[in-house]
Amino acid sequence: MSVTAGVIAVQGDVSEHAQAIRRAGETHGRTVEVVEIRQSGLVPECDLLLVPGGESTAISRLAHQEGIVDEMRDHVVAGRPVLATCAGLIFLSRDSGDERVETLDLLDVTVERNAFGRQRDSFEAPLPVRGFDDPFPAVFIRAPVVDSVGESVEVLAEWDDRPVAVRQDNILATAFHPELREDPRIHELAFFG
Ligand code: GLN
């Protein structure tokens, strides 16, 4: 069976997500057709949606400008799955603590951007994730952390005692970049779990 995966492609690491979702589909016997979304009218054709990392101020500005945000909301309300990573997590949150990011308020969390500071700007860590037998090789790049979660949000992983992977219904969001390692488990969990 084939599925259509939309990758929000206004800015950020789009091709890595496209590859990761194809890989995850393969292991589940699914052919994945990837659609890169830079304008309105495409999200409604997608079974699932990926919101990549990048720069949340730019992603927010361009997604609003291109008229994609209402379609993203409809996708979530319809119960279709979404994986949001890093800047994507910031964009979907209730509040980013930065007025330059007009968040979608689809995920009931508040976040702190660039929370690991300069010294640990980017790093990789073996991250225990709820439900995984082995730690996930998590790549953090100027990553946010979640600093408060609503009642309907489940925390799946923490680093330094702060949530870095969360799930709320059909949305899975990570502060790290699962698309940068050839480990399909996060994409599988979001879409084929
Ligand atoms: N620091 C970026 C932001 O705040 C996120 C970084 C990333 O997506 N790797 O938007």
**29 CA from centroid of ligand 1 (Å):** 32
- The whole-chain average pLDDT of the chain stands at 96
Sequence letter at residue 74: D
- Give the pTM: 0.97
Shortest CA distance to 69 belongs to which of 156, 118, 142, 10?
10
Structurally, at CATH architecture level, domain 2-191 sits in 3-Layer(aba) Sandwich (3.40)
Could you identify the atom of ligand 1 that is nearest to the CA of residue 86? 8
Active-site residue, 187 included: no
- pLDDT digits 0-9 by tens, 146-182: 999 999 999 999 999 999 999 999 999 999 999 999 9
Active-site residue, 75 included: no
Residues with CB under 6 A from ligand 1: 53-56, 86-87, 90, 113-114, 141-142
Sequence letter at residue 148: S
- pLDDT digits 0-9 by tens, 111-131: 999 998 766 789 999 999 999
- pLDDT digits 0-9 by tens, 9-61: 999 999 999 999 999 999 999 999 999 999 999 999 999 999 999 999 999 99
CA dihedral for 68, 87, 157, 15, sign (positive or negative): positive
**142 CA from centroid of ligand 1 (Å):** 6
